[in-house]
Every structure is written in structure tokens, then in C-alpha cells.
Structure 1
Amino acid sequence: MAVLIEAIHIKRKIVFEFENSPFVCLDSDITTPTARGGQTLVRLKMRNLLTSAVFEKTFKANDKFTEPDLELIPASYLYTDGDGSHFLDQESFETLTLNDEKIGNALDFLIEGALLQVHKYNGNPIGVQLPIFVELNVVYAEPGARSDSSSGGGTKLARLETGLEIRVPPFIKEGEKVKVTTETGEFSGRA
């Protein structure tokens, strides 16, 4: 029997099934009525894991949802070609392929051999879950101005080995490895 989750217990990053599709909660807001007998309502901002569509919907606090048949499979990134992006399942050693729509902007953070998690829904790959941080090499960095110092303010543009361009502090040079936050795509420190 599937586990049931009440709407009032759905918080950020919880995965649930709604209208036969898996969703992840991005934000939740609980509204309690001031009048007696009023319904407690839960407003969920949620993303469909199959289509990546994001929307908000209001539910009664006691509405119930099932847990989706969703599993996270450890995988490594192999390559991308005309058929999509290919990953190696680290447990079964089968190749999993995701099309551009399902991969989203994840390729900005992936180099060959990178380890991550692949979402499988009902046995089919539907997306990836990146690590919180990735370490990437700087292949180009704008020259820093003379007035810039390692203690100082300002940022400059740097291009990483995946082609992603980010703002970095002035002291970062070509050839260095930097840590990037995958959620925001921002510089997080030297690696």
C-alpha cells in the first residue's frame, strides 16, 4: 500500500504524486482561518518532474497524496550527442539517456565522469539531481584591473570548462579550479 502524505505536511523539497504525475514542493504556505469552522488551506508552489512546469495550487489541509514510484539512481555523466545526454547507472551499469528537455541546464555543471543522481519514475529516467556544489576549471578569466585587490570588491567574468560564464572575484585566474553552486550558478569559492 502506498504511503499517504497530508497536504499540511508537505514542505519544501518533498516529492509527492498529484494527478498521476510526480511533483516536488518548491514552497508551501499554510493559511489558518480566523472564523470557527473554517478550513485550513495549504498553498503549494510545485514543479512537475515530468514537464518541469511550475505552478501554485491551494489544497485543504487534510487532502492526501501518495508517494510517487520515484527512485534516485547513482550515475556518472558520459557524453551528449544528437540523441540526448547519456549517463552510466552505477549499480546496473546500463546506459540511461535523457533528452534536452529533461536535462535542462544541468549540462552547464557536468563534465565527463561527474557523479550525480538520476531520477527514475516508474522505471524510466526523467531527470537529474545535481550535487549542491561542483568543481570546474576556469578556461578564461577577464584580466583584473590594477586597483582590484584580493580583499577588494568587484567581480569579473570567467568562463568555465563547460562553457558556463559566471562572475568571480578579481583574484581568480585562468587554470584555477572553482566551486560553483548548482542551484544558483554562482561562484562559491576556490576548490
Structure 2
Amino acid sequence: MFIFPFYNIAQTQQGSSGLWIDDGYLFSASPPVQYSTSDFRKGLKVQIDGEPYIMSECNFVKPGKGNALYKCRLKNLIRGTTLDRTYRGGEQLESADVEETDVQFLYKQGETWVFMDNTTFEQYELDADAVGDGWKFLKDGMKCMMTLFNGNPLDMTPPIQVEMEVTYCEPGAKGNTATNVTKPATIETGAEIQVPAFVNLGDVIRVDTRDGSYVERVKK
């Protein structure tokens, strides 16, 4: 949205051009972004019936005949409810009218995660439902992205990749460098992920937070 000074006008006016005047300022409204089915993916935030949703699942289905189908599960970011929708290839959804802001993870208190806006220093609290699987990758001081709707926090997104220390795993086999043989390992947040067999206790590894997958071992 663009704001231009427009003095000596006190009343509000709005026209078909998408411009309106309020309290002496001229506002220009930008049309919402439209997402086509080719943009659909897990984590995409869209607006349905005036409320923000996030795609928790999206699966592509190619029937024997006809258009491709996209089976999506969407979570309401306000109420936490879910709905299942099927879209034909080429259909569109409107982007969610939400604000994304940089925050820093401060600490966890009980079942509440506390974050701070890096610009305003305002603090926000999220419960377990809002944090979701993000808790697995949160360390004190970590920078994240928070979604706000009407100034209220809805959810958070950790960095795409994070470095985590392995705090427990079975000993790695010497000389085994294969990545297709995996084993469970506990990382410093207490989460368990699958890692290659050669990873050892105390190793620092890089993890993809989108699916919790191992990326690589970080050289010390």
C-alpha cells in the first residue's frame, strides 16, 4: 500500500480507481496476489471466505482423463480448524491478508513460546498449536518469521536450514559414508530425526526445517 500526503481533506472518499482519502492522506490499494495451482505448496498462506489459511498438505493427482487435481488440506490460522479442498489445475486462490515480520525467539515458558519483534521490540506469545513442528528447530536467540493478522500473532516459521548438535545417537560405523543408511538421532532441542549411519554423538548437522530432513554434517 502506498500513502501520499493529501492535505485539507478530512472526509473519507473512495472510488472505483482503488484510491481513497482518509484523514488527509491519499491511499493506493494494491490488489491481492492470486496464486494459481502451480504455486500451491505446503506452507502457502491463502485467504478463503475472508479468513487466512495455511496449506498443511497439497498433493498433485493426475487422473486418467481430464484436468490435473490438487488435493489440499488447509488450516485456519485463527481458529485452528482444518478443511479439505480439491482444486482443478488453473484455479486460483487469493493470498492471505497477513503481515510477515522478523522476530527473535527468546524463551519457552511452559507451553508458551515467547518471541520479540526485532524492530519494535514488542513481544509475542504462541501456544503449541501455533508453533507446530517449529519447536523442533528453535534455539534461544534464533531469528524467525512471524505471521500477524490484525496485529495478532498467528504462527511462526523458522529458518529453512538450521545447525543442530546431536545429543544422542548410536555410535557411527567407521568408514561408513553412505547417506542412504539412516538411524534415529536426538538433536539439542529434544527432537528426533533420521540421520546417516556415520553421524556421531556431538556432531553438528544442518537440518531442513521444512521436513526435518538431514542436509549435511557441519565441519568444525
**Quick check: TM above 0.5?**
yes
1:11 to 16, 39, 42: 39
Deviations 1:20-44 (A, max 9, x none): 211245548699xx99xxxx89756
For 2:30 and 2:61, how far apart are their aligned partners in 1?
A: 25
2:196 to 169, 172, 177: 169
Count, aligned residues: 182
With over 3 angstroms needed to count, the CA separation of the structure-2 counterparts of 1:90 and 1:49, relative to structure 1, is farther
* Residue equivalent to 1:150: 176
Instruction: Point out the structure with max Rg over C-alpha.
Output: 2
Structure 2 unmatched ranges of 5 or more: 1-28
Say if 1:88 and 1:96, in contact at 8 Å, map to a contact too: yes
* Residue equivalent to 1:47: 74
1:7 shift after superposition: 6.6
The within-5 A match list for 1:21-170 is 21-25=51-55, 27=58, 43=70, 45-50=72-77, 51=80, 53-58=82-87, 66-82=94-110, 84-145=112-173, 149-152=175-178, 154-170=181-197
For 1:62 and 1:184, how far apart are their aligned partners in 2?
A: 27
For 2:212 and 2:91, how far apart are their aligned partners in 1?
A: 37
Identity %: 25
For 1:22 and 1:144, how far apart are their aligned partners in 2?
A: 45
Are residue 186 (structure 1) and residue 216 (structure 2) matched? no
Say if 1:139 and 1:159, in contact at 8 Å, map to a contact too: yes
Deviations 1:82-136 (A, max 9, x none): 3611001111111110111111111111111111101111211000112211111
- Please give the secondary structure, in 1, of the residue aligned with 2:205: strand
With over 3 angstroms needed to count, the CA separation of the structure-2 counterparts of 1:4 and 1:29, relative to structure 1, is farther
Q: Which amino acid aligns with 2:196?
A: P
Greater relative contact order (Cα < 8 A, sep 6+): 1
Task: Tell me which moved more, 43-52 or 104-113.
Answer: 43-52
Q: TM-score scaled to structure 2, two decimals?
A: 0.69
For 2:99 and 2:49, how far apart are their aligned partners in 1?
A: 19
Q: TM-score scaled to structure 1, two decimals?
A: 0.78
With over 3 angstroms needed to count, the CA separation of the structure-2 counterparts of 1:10 and 1:24, relative to structure 1, is farther
For 1:114 and 1:72, how far apart are their aligned partners in 2?
A: 16
Say if 1:2 and 1:67, in contact at 8 Å, map to a contact too: no
For 2:48 and 2:81, how far apart are their aligned partners in 1?
A: 14
Structure 1 unmatched ranges of 5 or more: none
With over 3 angstroms needed to count, the CA separation of the structure-2 counterparts of 1:30 and 1:163, relative to structure 1, is closer
